[in-house]
Amino acid sequence: MNRASALMTTARPCLSWVSGVVLVGAAGLEIADHPIADFFSLTMDQVIDLSYYRPDAFRLDLDQLPEPQNAMMAANRAALEVYAGRAMADPGLLDRLPSVAVPVLAIWGEADCIIPAEHGRAYAKAIPGARFLLLPEAGHLPQLETPDRLLAAVLDFAEPAT
């Protein structure tokens, strides 16, 4: 079990102050027909191609980046492997999701090829009362590509029902 899925499904009694969860392109599920991209085998150009609706707007020339920034990116990649696991999936997570007892909104970019939108739909189907929202013209990182639409969706979800 990766740490994110453990937090969402087993730490609930310790998190009584959590009133809802927003998943944005979340890893964790294992869906045979829609696998998560093998992130750790990809080059940065491949990651960018799979992550964005308009990848060229976010393409990086790693040779032009300062060494500290390259080192930080390498450390972030290593940290991701530690906390998410190489597969970024927990085979038992889907079976535990019905126990989630807070409102959940699963948001996905329509062009997310890192973690396909079918994963968001699966989260929403498995979690009682969860909703799924597909953001147009966004990939795996809508917080970078469509920040205003993502923020509006999160704020709308967080608004108390009146």
Tens of pLDDT, residues 61-72: 888 989 999 899
Q: Cα separations (Å) of 117 from 28, 36, 122, 162?
A: 13, 10, 9, 30
pLDDT band, residue 15 (cuts 50/70/90): low
Question: What pLDDT band is residue 6 in, cutting at 50, 70 and 90?
Answer: low
Question: Who's near 2: CB < 8 A, 6+ residues apart?
Answer: 27, 28, 83, 84, 85, 88, 89, 90
**Residue 74 reports pLDDT greater than 80:** yes
Say if residues 23 and 120 touch (Cβ distance below 8 Å): yes
Residue 2 backbone dihedrals phi, psi, to 5 degrees: -80, 165
Q: Where are the domains of the chain?
A: 3-158
Mean pLDDT calculated for residue range 150-162: 87
Class of domain 3-158: alpha beta
> Burial of 46 by CB count in 10 Å (0-12 exposed, 13-18 middle, 19+ buried)?
middle
pLDDT grade for 2, boundaries at 50, 70 and 90: low
Across the beta sheet with 21-24, the strand order is 21-24, 104-109, 131-135
DSSP E strand stretches across the chain: 21-24, 104-109, 131-135
Higher-confidence residue of 10 and 97: namely: 97
Q: What is the pTM of this model?
A: 0.86
pLDDT reported for residue 62: 82
More confident position, 2 or 123? 123
| Burial of 144 from C-beta contacts in 10 A (0-12 / 13-18 / 19+) | middle
